[in-house]
Amino acid sequence: HICDGPDEVRKTVRTVLRAGADFIKLHATGGVLSPSDEPGSPQFTQEEIAIMVYEARMHGKTCMSHAQATEGIKNALRAGVESIEHGFYLDDEAIAIMKEQGSFLVPTLHAPRSVVLNAEASPESVLPQSLRKAHEVIEANARSFRAAHEAGVKVAMGTDCGVGTHGTNAWELELMVEHGMTPMEAIVATTKTAAECCHVDADVGTLEPGKLGDLIVVDGDPLADVTVLQQRERICMVMQGGEIAVDRIGG
């Protein structure tokens, strides 16, 4: 949905909520894949975002925001958005706001790297300006992630639509560890914190009595080498909702 101005954003959010949305996802800035804007370009004012947040809250829902550069990130945070997706260019003030408000950062470290890999595999599949932007944000993304993590910002693991191949999301844990997390911190970000970010932690995210019982069993120790989670042949069992969905152990 494209909308501009207070009245349009209010109507659009109400329309999406009536259609059954679980969350409101908005774009506070431009992006890497969008051809006609830049990550540093704010897309909505703080006032417009605050209206979206208000309408979502009136329906018991929350807002998360694609937000890549500093001004747009802070517009979203000050308006009450709970989760910042990407956060490539965080400054100290943005990190302080996130820490104070208990906001989540979903850094998607794999996303710009995946754009580069896609361009290498199939040059015609990625616009030149998107490839340029992907190269530009990779290091900033890593620096912002490290700074936010060291400051104690809540980090949730997430992926991005249209860039990483389905089933390769465990690469994100490797990148999180490469840039400052311990393997256990990356696993917690992927399970417990991600569930909290999505407001589904009453059912999933940890193994506790009364929860659904989603888990995997791997042949290896991800605390020693988190990349074991990327090796499909080493996934021995998958349990969903307390029921075994895949069993390669055979016992």
What is the band of 251 on the pLDDT scale with cuts at 50, 70, 90?
low
25 is catalytic: yes
What was the pLDDT predicted at 31?
96
pTM here is 0.95
pLDDT in tens, 58-81: 999 999 999 999 999 999 999 999
CATH, range 5-206:
3.20.20.140
pLDDT over threshold 90, residue 29: yes
pLDDT in tens, 199-247: 999 999 999 999 999 999 999 999 999 999 999 999 999 999 999 999 9
Q: Which residues of 154-170 are buried (b: 16+ CB within 10 A; e: fewer)?
A: bbbbbbbeebbeeeebb
pLDDT over threshold 90, residue 164: no
Residue of 25, 61, 99, 211 marked catalytic: 25
Taking alpha carbons only, the member of 71, 63, 55, 66 closest to residue 101 is: 63
Residue of 74, 133, 160, 214 marked catalytic: 160
Torsion angle of C-alpha atoms 155, 161, 164, 165, degrees rounded to 10:
130
In 170-241, beta strands by DSSP E: 215-218, 235-240
Domains 5-206 and 212-251 fall in the same CATH topology: no
- Domain positions in the chain are 5-206, 212-251
Taking alpha carbons only, the member of 59, 84, 62 closest to residue 73 is: 84
Sort 141 into a burial class: Cβ within 10 Å, 0-12 / 13-18 / 19+. Answer: buried
37 is catalytic: no
CATH, range 212-251:
2.30.40.10
What token pair was written down for 44?
């909505």
What was the pLDDT predicted at 210?
94
What was the pLDDT predicted at 167?
85
